[in-house]
């Protein structure tokens, strides 16, 4: 099935691309919770793809059946490398390409990547144009409200759309805002009224009610840190949106909850499955090493979490995790 931002069911529910998090195992786990989720890779270098770097090419691998629609997020600053990388991504069977113009990490910005493009609108447009010319799959952009203020958000994004961007995802903070304070969605709502493509909001969604409160005139929501230790939030959001479409709303305007909250014991099979997926995707050693941060998030807030976390951050096998979690 060919993916299109114009025809895919709305409102969109997207898993935000996160470095060191949204690998194949995490994407597949999220899809088991909420199959309608649009999943993204960790952001990958167009330079590395252009030169065929082994590690990056491995990170491009995905399960086409279970991860549809699968979006590859890329970063860089060389239009020629965007063009060649885009061709490789399409040939591998990805359903779309997303260009990162929002990462605030110092190392990324100092290389004129990520949020640095907010200060170079002409280059940003050239990157979109080069990518669009290379492929027939959709090209989207994820960015922020601006560098240090929101004044240029609309003209910046209008330029991206003119260059060919098929959709926009906006994080509700400026580059200087990093991840501090509350995300500001008001400029995103205004942007939606001034562009012709789907607009997705991102920032501070931790539960289904947050998604319902924030979506307003937008085409979808994107959730990142809110999934840490709680991938089931994506199912909650999907169910809440389905209820909203049926107009089953309480008198106080809050949605009737439909997803039964799982006890920790009920979560354990999912956590074990996540471990198995990590080993399948990354191998025993690397898979379990990378699972440790997820395991620490899964036990946050439960009785005995501190002791359990101290043991989980040293695990080396799925069986060891099972013994710790099941007592």
CATH number at residue 116: 3.20.20.70
* Mean pLDDT value across residues 63-79: 96
Mark whether 220 and 109 lie in a shared domain.
yes
pLDDT at 249: 43
Distance CA 133, CA 131 (A): 5
- Look up 33 and say whether it is catalytic: no
Mean pLDDT of 151-166: 98
314 and 198: one domain?
no
The residue among 100, 50, 90, 45 whose CA lies nearest residue 70 is 90
In a domain, 189, yes or no: yes
pLDDT tens digits, 214-269: 999 999 999 999 999 999 999 999 999 998 887 444 434 444 444 447 889 999 99
Residues 272 and 204 in one domain: no
Each residue's pLDDT tens digit, 276-295: 999 999 999 999 999 999 99
Whole-number average pLDDT of the chain: 93
**Whole-number Cα distances in Å, 195 to 155, 191, 203:** 10, 6, 20
The total number of structural domains in the chain stands at: 2
> Domain for residue 251, yes or no?
no
CA distance 29 to 7: 25
What's the confidence (pLDDT) of residue 257? 44
Within a domain: 1:
no
Question: Do 240 and 271 reside in the same domain of the chain?
Answer: no
Query: Same domain, yes or no, for 165 and 81?
Result: yes
Range of the domain at 313: 264-326
Alpha helix segments (H runs only) across the chain: 24-33, 46-50, 54-59, 64-67, 79-91, 106-110, 121-134, 153-163, 186-192, 208-215, 233-245, 264-282, 284-298, 305-312, 318-326
From 33, 103, 157, 275, the catalytic residue: 103
Structural domain includes residue 160: yes
pLDDT of residue 247: 46
pTM confidence score: 0.93
Residue 256 placed within a domain = no
Give yes or no: residues 128 and 63 share one domain: yes
Q: Is 112 left (phi over 0), alpha (psi -120 to 50) or beta?
A: left
Residue 244 is encoded by which pair of tokens? Answer: 């909203």
Strands 12-15 and 44-45, bridge-based pairing: unpaired
The answer to whether residues 214 and 318 belong to one domain is no
CATH, residue 272: 1.10.1200
Are both 221 and 298 inside the same structural domain?
A: no
- Exposure string over 257-282, b if 16+ CB within 10 A, otherwise e: eeeeeeeeeebbebbbebbbbbbebb
Among the candidates 214, 245, 276, a domain finishes at: 245
Residues 36 and 111 in one domain: yes
Instruction: Give bridge partners of residue 221 from the DSSP assignment.
Output: 13, 201
Q: What is the pLDDT of residues 172-186, one digit of tens each?
A: 999 998 888 999 999
- SS3 letters for 250-290? CCCCCECCCCCCCCHHHHHHHHHHHHHHHHHHHCHHHHHHH
Residue 51 confidence (pLDDT): 97
In this structure, is residue 83 part of a structural domain? yes
- For the stretch 39-57, pLDDT in tens is 999 999 999 999 999 999 9
What average pLDDT score do residues 88-113 get?
A: 95
Residue-level pLDDT at 255:
44
Position 314 confidence tier, pLDDT thresholds 50, 70, 90: very high
Residues 205, 271: one domain? Answer: no
Q: Are residues 69 and 137 in the same domain?
A: yes
């Amino acid at each position: 099935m060919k993916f299109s931002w114009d025809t895919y069911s709305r409102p969109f529910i997207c898993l935000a691309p996160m470095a060191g998090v949204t690998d194949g195992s995490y994407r597949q786990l999220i899809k088991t919770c909420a199959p309608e989720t649009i999943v993204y890779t960790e952001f990958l270098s167009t330079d590395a793809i252009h030169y065929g770097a082994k590690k990056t090419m491995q990170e491009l691998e995905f399960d086409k059946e279970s991860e549809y629609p699968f979006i590859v997020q890329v970063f860089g600053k060389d239009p020629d490398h965007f063009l060649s990388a885009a061709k490789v991504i399409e040939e591998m069977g990805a359903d779309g390409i997303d260009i990162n113009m929002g990462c605030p990490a110092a190392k990324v910005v100092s290389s004129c990547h990520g949020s640095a493009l907010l200060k170079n609108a002409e280059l940003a447009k050239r990157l979109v144009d080069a990518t669009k010319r290379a492929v027939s799959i959709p090209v989207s952009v994820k960015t922020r409200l601006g560098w240090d203020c929101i004044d240029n958000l609309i003209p910046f994004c209008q330029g991206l759309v003119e260059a060919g961007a098929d959709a926009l995802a906006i994080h509700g903070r400026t580059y200087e805002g990093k991840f501090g304070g509350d995300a500001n969605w008001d400029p995103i709502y205004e942007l939606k009224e001034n562009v012709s493509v789907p607009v997705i909001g991102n920032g501070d969604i931790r539960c289904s009610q947050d998604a319902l409160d924030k979506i307003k005139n937008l085409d979808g929501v994107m959730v990142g840190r809110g999934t840490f230790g709680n991938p089931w939030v994506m199912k909650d959001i999907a169910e809440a949106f389905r209820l909203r479409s049926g107009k089953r709303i309480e008198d106080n305007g809050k949605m009737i909850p439909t997803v039964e909250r799982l006890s920790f014991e009920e979560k354990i099979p999912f956590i074990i499955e996540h471990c198995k997926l990590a080993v399948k995707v990354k191998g025993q050693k690397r898979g379990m090493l990378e699972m440790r941060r997820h395991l620490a998030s899964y036990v946050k807030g439960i009785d005995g979490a501190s002791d359990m976390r101290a043991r989980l951050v040293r695990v080396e096998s799925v069986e060891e995790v099972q013994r710790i979690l099941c007592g």
